[in-house]
A and B are shown apart, each in its own frame.
Chain A
């Protein structure tokens, strides 16, 4: 081995390091990396809005905009839970099943055509409790038995549907008989639909949780690197179960609201929501790998997809094609969102 160079050299060399070009480039990239995607989404939203207004002037009317907000309420509520779970690096597919079980619970415990008890506001609590319980079961199996969340929640989806079917039984369809309740969700307060206002509260709550609470920051750290989180003494399992409970509770709430909107109890009250929510999370810029993204971004994604679906109907796209068209646009949007991160050695699973 050769003798080392004199230590006097060191300071002279380090003096040069601050002007390294790589450091400067790093700083310059900060703006687009943080704000680029949301700005692009807002841009896309504006372009879609203009296009659909040209195709059908009815798109831009106040009634239709209120309609869009009303339609976005459920995916927004579900989207908050889905974002938190995905930020962990996990996934919750049980949404539609949990909504079925909790929605049916809600209808049977409210004033309905079958009679039975009318618990009023407590029916809401019961619906959320059902969602919470199912979320807790998913989270516990996922963390303690170490089964991938994908499989656990896929199973829980059908467990939820099963519970709803059993509750439904063999009698007639239970429909809500309290008119005040049935119209609550679409009634306007300050010009905005009630359901949307509720969803907005959930979104703001979710964003605040992510920004200002230890739970929120721990979610981000687990998603970034679970091993390091464990090494820092974070009780990873406990936090994960808690996140699944939040997601389950939000699915429960969504199940109740969906039942109100439908006006009757149905096991399939949540059908189609998973297909809107997960893409909305991804389009919003939350990474499926975890650790990167946020609730407000998901809200943008939800609005974008709702506008898309609404606009396609108003633009006169035949219902026969609509599903294929919205699917294709979805794939295109996700490709666009992921374009900046492509790399030869990047691995997608």
Chain B
């Protein structure tokens, strides 16, 4: 434990947890957490998937009730029976997955969980739209956002929705005189780099009048934004450090319990003898992208990067047959494709790991084993008849290779954490006997550094076995870290290409093509 190697704040803490415990059956999710958050402090909370961060946040927001321990807000012991109690105590949260009603206006979303009070926008069950919009505008102005409260949330780009979430979280300040505490649960894992900068500014503003708990997997970001960093592992606080007293490598070691092993790798050489396994020529989708041409050699990884609106997501879906194209041609293994569809793509050996894992990538109600053998049953089926015994064995092999936890492939996939779900989704395609092209749409999204390393290692294994991998990277570092070729897209066109081994581009070079 290294919890007492820094200066404690002198005034009464906004939040004080003492020995918080929570178990689910035999799983001890949170074991004796004690921590304090001071006024006007930004505290980072980091830890691997399954370290207990989510459970802790659910306790703080009233979704779970702790089995033991006490929560003090402003020095007073509180007990949250539901989300409303947490809101009434001035704790607001921006959830990991966006939790806005896309069919309602910005103002309604911000005011949705406002407790009925004097001057509230709802009187006797009737909405007072004028007051509602005014209250929401006040919350938005507080974080320096100029969004129109009457806009429908569904019409907003992603980064603006995040602002709405933050405005809703700070709406809690109207419930008490003292400063609000806002929990940001991995708000940046879905944001593009450029948009992250906006969010960082907002956090700076929040700090002026409240406190922030910032949960993120991006260690560099946590170090930059936070005053103090709390590291969790196995349901415990293992370190509590001022961010200027710790390095990224130390944090990684504290979280994972092992050293970060940056693998030096060789880029497979392009000596002109290899035949591209995937080729796109002048691919065009009206309004999304135009004249995109590139080819991927077997065993090489092409990373595509670009800001929102670059059209790369649409392009990735077109390769998998999930979206139509308006022009251009594609070929897989030298064979041109016609009237492309998802069914044909799968048959031709294309795999796709979508960004919206929960929606498109997995069947949560089926077991992990069933998910792995869903697309390519292989030995798990004899003709149309499934062989559960073989299925379990195949799944078990993948569970061990990819280090999926908990190590029980018969559990419903919904019950795994995000990182482990992603490993299972990957395994589904890796299980394909004739995988030629693997399209990865933000495969590391929401994964902790440890899980990211494991997933990256397996992406490289796929490459080494001769498949072509097309990757939409979350960050520029990810693209440089794992890509052999990098294609930069801007407003639907390819704006730059790099061969990583030859050109050795920097993040600046990549950014130049993006903006």
Contact = CB atoms under 8 A, between A and B. Distances in A.
B157 interface: yes
A28 to B, nearest CB: 10
Contacts of B480: 2
Interface in A206-250: 211-215, 217, 220-221, 223-225, 228-229, 231-234
B308 interface: yes
Contacts of A29: 155
Interface stretch (A10-18, A94-102, A130-138): A10-18
B324 A224 contact: no
B101 A220 contact: yes
Contact of B102 (A2, A13, A214, A224): A224
Given A2-B507, A5-B507, A21-B309, A217 B157 contact: no
B477 interface: yes
B316 to A, nearest CB: 13
Interface stretch (B191-199, B206-214, B379-387): B191-199
B282 interface: no
Contact of B198 (A2, A14, A221): A14
A1 B200 CA distance: 21
A5 B197 CA distance: 12
A22 B157 contact: yes
B262 interface: yes
B91 to A, nearest CB: 13
Contacts of B224: 4, 7
B99 interface: yes
A214 B287 contact: no
A234 B360 CA distance: 28
A221 B104 contact: yes
B481 interface: yes
A26 B322 CA distance: 22
Contacts of A10: 194, 197, 200
B127 A212 contact: yes
A231 B95 CA distance: 10
B83 A13 contact: no
Contact of A232 (B83, B341, B342): B83
Nearest to A33: B155
A301 interface: no
Nearest to B121: A214
Interface in B300-316: 307-309
A172 interface: no
A170 interface: no
Contacts of B511: 5, 9, 13
Contacts of B103: 220-221, 223-224, 291-292
B323 interface: yes
Interface in B79-132: 82-84, 87, 95, 99-104, 108, 112-113, 122, 125-127, 129
Contact of A30 (B83, B155, B323): B155
B157 A26 contact: yes
A231 to B, nearest CB: 6
Contacts of B321: 344
Interface in B478-493: 480-481, 491
A23 interface: yes
A25 interface: yes
A62 interface: no
B508 interface: yes
B515 interface: yes
Contact of A26 (B63, B101, B155, B159): B155
B19 interface: no
Given A14-B198, A224-B102, A213 B127 contact: yes
A27 B156 CA distance: 8
Contacts of B508: 5, 9
Nearest to A30: B155
B322 A17 contact: no
A121 interface: no
Interface in B228-247: none
B451 to A, nearest CB: 15
B457 interface: no
B308 A224 contact: no
Contact of A345 (B157, B360, B477): B360
Nearest to B84: A233
Contacts of A212: 126-127, 129
A88 B159 CA distance: 28
A233 B101 contact: no
A144 interface: no
Contacts of A292: 103
A349 interface: no
A225 B101 contact: yes
Nearest to B113: A232
B381 to A, nearest CB: 25
Contacts of B125: 213-215
Contact of B82 (A215, A220, A224, A233): A233
Contacts of B129: 212
B36 interface: no
A224 B101 contact: yes
Contacts of B323: 344
B400 to A, nearest CB: 27
A148 B390 CA distance: 36
B112, B152, B195: residue with the most chain A Cβ atoms closer than 10 Å: B112
A217 B127 contact: yes
B80 to A, nearest CB: 11
A2 B104 CA distance: 41
Interface in B120-176: 122, 125-127, 129, 152, 155-157, 159
Contacts of B341: 344
Contact of A231 (B83, B156, B322): B83
A17 B309 CA distance: 10
Interface in B316-343: 321-324, 341-342
B515 A16 contact: yes
Interface string A288-317: 000110000000000000000000000000
Given A1-B220, A14-B197, A217 B108 contact: yes
Given A13-B515, A221-B101, A223-B103, A20 B127 contact: no
A223 B104 CA distance: 11
A22 B308 contact: yes
B291 interface: no
Interface string A233-274: 110000000000000000000000000000000000000000
B74 interface: no
Contacts of B476: 5
Given A13-B197, A22-B308, A214-B127, A233 B87 contact: yes
- Among all A-B residue pairs, the 6 with the closest Cβ atoms: A10-B197, A22-B309, A233-B84, A232-B113, A13-B194, A224-B101
9 contacts: A1-B260, A5-B508, A5-B511, A9-B511, A20-B309, A221-B101, A232-B83, A232-B99, A292-B103
Interface of B: 63, 82-84, 87, 95, 99-104, 108, 112-113, 122, 125-127, 129, 152, 155-157, 159, 193-195, 197-198, 200, 220, 224, 248, 260, 262, 287, 307-309, 321-324, 341-342, 360, 476-477, 480-481, 491, 507-508, 511, 515
Given A221-B112, A224-B104, A234-B112, 14 more contacts: A1-B262, A4-B220, A13-B193, A13-B511, A16-B515, A20-B157, A20-B309, A30-B152, A214-B122, A220-B101, A232-B113, A233-B84, A233-B113, A345-B342
